[in-house]
Chain A
Amino acid sequence: MSSEESVLTVSASPHIKSGETVQKIMWNVNLALAPAAIFGMIWFGLPAVINIVVSIAAAVLTEYVIEKIRKVRVTVRDGSAFITGLLLAMCLPPTLPFYMTAFGAVIAVGVAKMTFGGLGYNIFNPAHIGRAALMVSWPALMTSWASRLPSPDAVTSATVLNVAKHEGYDAVISLFGSHTALYKALLLGTRNGSIGETSAILLLLGGVYLIARGYIKWQVPAVMIGTVGLLTWAFGGLMPSGSGGQLTGGMIFGGGGLFTGDPLFGMLSGGLIIGAFFMATDMVTIPITLKGQIIFAAGCGVITTLIRFVGGYPEGVCYSILLMNCLTPLIDRVTKPRIYGTGRKSYV
Chain B
Amino acid sequence: MSEAHEARAEKKSGILAIALNLTVACIVSGVILAVAYFITHPVAVQKQKEADALALQTLVPAATSFVPVDGQDNMTVAKNGDTVVAYVVEEAPRGYESAVEMLVAVSSDGKVLNFSITSNKETPGLGTKASEPAFMDQFIGKTSEHLAVTKDPANKEDVQAITGATITSKAVTKGVKAAVDEVAAYTGGK
Contact = CB atoms under 8 A, between A and B. Distances in A.
A and B touch in the complex (CB under 8 A): yes
Interface of A: 139-140, 143-144, 155, 166, 243-244, 246, 312
Interface stretch (B23-31, B55-63, B132-140, B161-169): B161-169
Given A155-B151, A246-B170, 9 more contacts: A139-B126, A139-B164, A144-B163, A166-B166, A243-B167, A243-B170, A244-B171, A312-B96, A312-B167
B167 A139 contact: no
Instruction: Assign chain B's interface to a size class.
Output: 10 to 19
A243 B166 contact: yes
B126 A140 contact: yes
Contacts of A246: 170
B148 to A, nearest CB: 10
Contacts of B96: 312
Contacts of B163: 140, 144
B123 interface: yes
A157 to B, nearest CB: 9
B166 A244 contact: yes
Contacts of A144: 163
19 contacts: A139-B123, A139-B125, A139-B126, A139-B164, A140-B125, A140-B126, A140-B163, A143-B164, A144-B163, A155-B151, A166-B151, A166-B166, A243-B166, A243-B167, A243-B170, A244-B166, A244-B167, A244-B171, A312-B96
Chain B at the A interface: SS class: loop
Contacts of A166: 151, 166
Interface in B93-113: 96
Instruction: List 6 tightest A-B contacts by C-beta distance, closest first.
Output: A140-B164, A244-B167, A244-B170, A140-B163, A139-B164, A243-B166
A142 to B, nearest CB: 8
A312 B165 CA distance: 10
Interface string B119-133: 000010110000000
Contacts of A143: 164
Nearest to B129: A140
A347 B164 CA distance: 47
Interface string B135-173: 000000000000000010000000000011011001100
Contacts of B170: 243-244, 246
A243 B170 CA distance: 9
Nearest to B123: A139
Contacts of B125: 139-140
A155 B155 CA distance: 13
A49 to B, nearest CB: 26
A144 B171 CA distance: 22
Nearest to B95: A244
A280 B170 CA distance: 36
A246 B93 CA distance: 14
A244 B125 CA distance: 18
A87 to B, nearest CB: 24
B139 to A, nearest CB: 17
Contacts of B166: 166, 243-244
A221 to B, nearest CB: 31
